[in-house]
Amino acid sequence: MMRVTVATYRLQFIPDFDCDAAMTIAPYLADLGVSDRYASPILAPRRRISRRRCCSTNPGRVEPSG
């Protein structure tokens, strides 16, 4: 049986909100009816490529938040 997405929530990682913080709000989001969560890009963009990060990322480097 295929699982159906009911509602999504985008997590924006910043210095004061990391993966551990995201885990602490997961039950709250579930109570709100959020079935799926996804995160802002965490991989650094390749040099000379769009800062929007939609073109290409450097899988060897995590972008510092902030």
pLDDT tens-digit map of 20-62? 999 999 999 999 999 999 988 777 766 665 555 555 666 777 7
Contact present, 35 and 5 (Cβ < 8 Å): yes
- Of 14 and 5, which is predicted with more confidence? 5
Residues written for the chain: 66
Residue 62 token pair: 């995590």
Closest CA to 22 of 39, 3, 5: 39
